[in-house]
Amino acid sequence: MHLKRWITGLVALPFLIYIIIKGGVLFSVFIGLLALIGFWEYTRVVFSDSRENARGFLVLVGYLFIPMITWAAHYHAAGLMFHIFSLYFIVTALLSVLLYKNDRLVYEITKKTVLGIVYIPVLLAYLILIRDGEQMQGQSGSF
């Protein structure tokens, strides 16, 4: 039934193993791409209704912050990841209040967008920190 998916998975498995073993920039870029694809899928599912006007700009801001979160994880700066997320939250809240103050559903849209950033890119960025765990030993202020 899902023969094409199985074949694709079996063909992609050696590349995935190589990326995980190699680590470094290649792994970080891979995780960043997964985060972008995951956030795109998340927004397609969560915003399946017709509120395109408000969600479009807020989701675009989310796409801009995903590479920054991944970059911070690549440089083993978990504290910076949280600062970037906090900045994203502030920017999203300000844009919601200033641009969409007359839209009754803006709170719901903002909540779902912020949750998507926590749920996908931030958690995936921790894979980078876990993968490079030995390099993080002795770094103070990382949590």
Rounded to two decimals, the pTM is 0.82
Mean pLDDT over 105-116 rounds to: 85
Which residue would you say has higher pLDDT here, 19 or 134?
19
Give the list of residues 6+ apart from residue 76 with CB closer than 8 angstroms, or none.
129, 132, 135, 136, 139, 142
Mean pLDDT of the chain: 85
3-state secondary structure of 11: helix
Mean pLDDT of 6-32: 90
Using the predicted structure, report yes or no on whether residue 24 has a pLDDT greater than 60: yes
